[in-house]
Amino acid sequence: MPKIKKITVQNLKAVDFKELELDGASILVIGGNNKGKSTLLKTFPDRLRGIKPDVVLKENTGEGFAELELTTGEKLRWDFGLTKKGEFKE
C-alpha cells in the first residue's frame, strides 16, 4: 500500500512555504487555531472526491499549491489562487 513520502505546500492559510519529508512515517500535526492543520489534512481526500474547499489562500497572495508525493512516486497536486477580479479559482 502506498504511503505519503512528501507533502509540499505554498500559501496555504498561514503557511508561506513548507516541505515535509515523511518517507511513510506517521506524524502528529499540531498548531494554533486557523493555521491550516485541518485544511492540509482534508485537502487531498476532498479534492479526490471532487469537493471544492472554501478559500484557503494565504492573505495578500495571488496563488498557491499543495502537493502530495507517494512512496510509489505518484504525485497529487492542487493549484489554487485568485482571478484578476479577486474571485477564488482552482
Tens digit of each residue's pLDDT (9 = 90 or more) over 22-69 = 998 888 888 888 887 887 777 777 777 877 766 678 888 888 888 999
pTM given for the model: 0.75
Q: Say yes or no to pLDDT of 13 above 70.
A: yes
What the block records as the C-alpha cell of 14 is 498561514
List, in order, residues 6 or more apart from 22 with CB less than 8 Å away. 3, 4, 5, 6, 7
**Cα of 7 vs its chain's centroid, Å:** 8
